[in-house]
Homo-oligomer: A and B are copies of this chain.
Amino acid sequence: MASAPEPSHCKVILAGNIAKSLQNEVQEGVKKLERAPLLVGFLATDDAASRVYADWTGKTCRDNGFDFELREVTKDDIEEGIMSANTDDKVDGIIVYYPIHGNRQDQYLQQIVDIGKDVEGLSHKYIFNMYQNIRFLDDAKQRKSILPCTPLAVIKILEYLHVYNPILPYGNRLHGHTVTIINRSEVVGRPLAALLANDGANVYSVDIDNVEQFHRGEGLRKRRHTVDEKGGWTIEHCLPLSDVVISGVPGDKYKVPVKLLRNGAVCINFSSEKNFTPEVKEKASIYVPAIGKVTIIVLLRNLLVSACTK
């Protein structure tokens, strides 16, 4: 009765399949509105990647019952353009293709966008609420605080993968999970670490300098996460403890040391490059190689929320 070894059992899940379930939800929502919500995109550079992303936004909008209008402006006109869209009742959401100035002026522009039309979730109020684990703009809990698209896309993926446990109360559904996030950018890595820790996970946030632990303490006693620096820790300490590993390191040089992965870990790559080598499939139970298609649907979901609460 010797049992011959079989190939490894890693389930590779493509973002397109995850996006489909969200697409249905978004399309149903649009049907209930009187008119198609209008997203206005601002393109103020010659950057090829920005134009590709703009075209892709437009296509995805139209495919899902939304209107999209690309406004091409100069760097000098972008501020005025945004302000004009802010006060235009026909405009439901605004997306700006960064980088424009490539410096702090871009962060200034992000705060110009009217909070009710900020479907990217970049307004300071939204970011503040996210870190503080405040989920609504109003006390009556009618108006959801918008979350930034890429971190929210990762959350939607973790829900799809059943890492969020629906038997636990909303807000605590990652209790018991240990997550390593490789990337601590202000745009994705740090907000994502905060969001997952706020939902109950024990998160190790790894960047080139150090490891930080985002967590709500034993028994989730804290109502929002706190951060502890893990002196002397490296990714080698984090990976063997983590049942979820999320990597988003730019460039094609970086590779996650898959040998250190816990057997059966859930692995998600949000870098535009492949941070995991093919050997990830020897260890992981689930591998999601890219997330872009989910991110764009999440943007439409935010647009729908904005259009519904106007």
Copies of this chain in its oligomeric complex:
2
Give the residues in chain B near A8, CB-CB below 8 Å: 218-221
Chain A 1-34 near chain B by CB (<8 Å), digits 1 or 0: 1011111111101000000000000000000000
Interface check A151, CB cutoff 8 A: no
Q: Is B243 touching A176 in the complex (CB atoms < 8 A)?
A: yes
Give the residues in chain B near A5, CB-CB below 8 Å: 217, 221-222
Give the residues in chain B near A218, CB-CB below 8 Å: 8, 263, 282-283
A173 CB to nearest chain B CB (Å): 9
Interface check A286, CB cutoff 8 A: yes
Interface check A223, CB cutoff 8 A: yes
Of residues 228 through 268 on chain A, the ones whose CB sits less than 8 Å from some CB of chain B are 243, 262-266
Given contacts A8-B221, A222-B6, contact A175 B285 (CB under 8 A): yes
Closest chain B residue to A1 by CB distance? B132
Interface check A166, CB cutoff 8 A: yes
Interface check A224, CB cutoff 8 A: yes
Q: Is B265 touching A223 in the complex (CB atoms < 8 A)?
A: no
Q: Is A11 touching B168 in the complex (CB atoms < 8 A)?
A: yes
- List residues of A whose CB falls within 8 A of some B CB: 1, 3-11, 13, 132, 160-162, 165-169, 172, 175-177, 200, 202, 217-224, 243, 262-266, 281-283, 285-286
Please, could you name 9 A-B residue pairs with CB atoms under 8 Å apart, sorted by A?
A: A3-B223, A7-B221, A8-B219, A9-B221, A11-B169, A13-B167, A160-B167, A176-B265, A219-B283
